[in-house]
Amino acid sequence: MNKIEHIGIAVKSLKSSNALFSKLFGETAYREEAVLSEKVNTSFFKIGETKIELLEATDKDSAINKFIEKKGEGIHHIAFHVDDILAEVARLKSEGFTVLNDTPKVGADNKWVIFLHPKTTNGVLIELCQEIKR
Ligand SMILES: CC[C@@H](C(=O)O)C(=O)SCCNC(=O)CCNC(=O)[C@H](O)C(C)(C)COP(=O)(O)OP(=O)(O)OC[C@H]1O[C@@H](n2cnc3c(N)ncnc32)[C@H](O)[C@@H]1OP(=O)(O)O
Ligand SMILES: [Co+2]
């Protein structure tokens, strides 16, 4: 892992949270993207080197909807950038972490993504991200 790739925030309404975070940052979202496999709509803001991902559920079975029902809106995950996602996952497994998907999934903003179970990371959902090379 070499830097924080983004911080994911679960929101009830992308539209109203886009307006709120635009006011907060003084900038509008630079990207909006639906990720069907995760049943979410996302938007991204950039503040210097830091990316913030807002996530709105598109289905009641979405991880984001379940999270909001249990804990309310707020920080949902921290994503770390990696150069070699499969090597990093092999290392983390050998250290005893529980990986939620062994095979990388296509995430937002052109990334391969893999999640670690929050039960093995002190209650924090961790996402690993590697650029998809096209
Ligand atoms: C847009 C794509 C991508 C990107 O490119 O950036 C994304 O960010 S997608 C983000 C949404 N997708 C995911 O979160 C996928 C990974 N998550 C999961 O697989 C599940 O959410 C989970 C973490 C395995 C939990 O699922 P499940 O066991 O079905 O839900 P429960 O509601 O029963 O929760 C069990 C347990 O885990 C706690 N929990 C759930 N989510 C989180 C979280 N984000 N952070 C911390 N803890 C979390 C939940 O509170 C339960 O705890 P207990 O109540 O103590 O048992
Ligand atoms: Co994310």
pLDDT in tens, 45-56: 999 999 999 999
The DSSP code for 36 is G
* Residues 88-113, mean pLDDT to the nearest whole number: 96
pLDDT at 91 over 90: yes
Q: What is the pLDDT of residue 64?
A: 98
pLDDT digits (tens, 9 = 90+) for 60-85: 999 999 999 999 999 999 999 999 99
pLDDT at 134 over 90: no
Which protein residue's CA is at the shortest distance from atom 33 of ligand 1? 66
Strands 3-11 and 50-57: parallel
Taking the CA of 32 as reference, the closest ligand is 1
Cβ(40) – ligand 1 distance below 6 Å: yes
Cβ(29) – ligand 1 distance below 6 Å: no
Instruction: Report how far ligand 1's centroid is from the alpha carbon of 63 (Å).
Output: 5
